[in-house]
Structure 1
Amino acid sequence: MISNGFSNLPLGFGLGLVMDDRARQNYESLSEAEKEEIILRCKDAKSKDEVDKILNSISTPGDITGLLQEKSMG
């Protein structure tokens, strides 16, 4: 079952979370600020490949930290 919080996600990102249980669980464990950062990155993505990279980062333990730090450095 999809939580109601997923209804405001970019479509490709939301579908990716539905299809990847690990990414969904990791996303749900993020703080609200981290979730907002991920959502903004997905909205700014120029291609499906960029969204897929974000999903892969969320799905892989430890990669999400690097993804979030990458944005704050740039």
Structure 2
Amino acid sequence: MTRPEMSGRQRVRDSMTESVRRIERTTRGRVLNIEPMHSDGRDLNRVKVMDESGRVRIYVDDPNRAARARGDDD
């Protein structure tokens, strides 16, 4: 594995860690799953969160902007 590949993977992991922290802090929910995704030329994180009432929601977090809810996932 070359050095640039490692730094790219580390960057994705760091981005995901920050997304988890930001989503947990803003929603007060529990992150169930996070996965990287690519949309409109941007690297994003799709985050599945269970809120205090047990409802599961999907958030799309752009590491360069604030997270926004996309909808419910039953």
TM exceeding 0.5? no
- Higher strand residue share: 2
Tell me the TM-score normalized by structure 2.
0.32
Larger Rg: 2
Greater relative contact order: 1 or 2 (C-alpha under 8 angstroms, separation 6 or more)?
1
- Higher helix residue share: 1
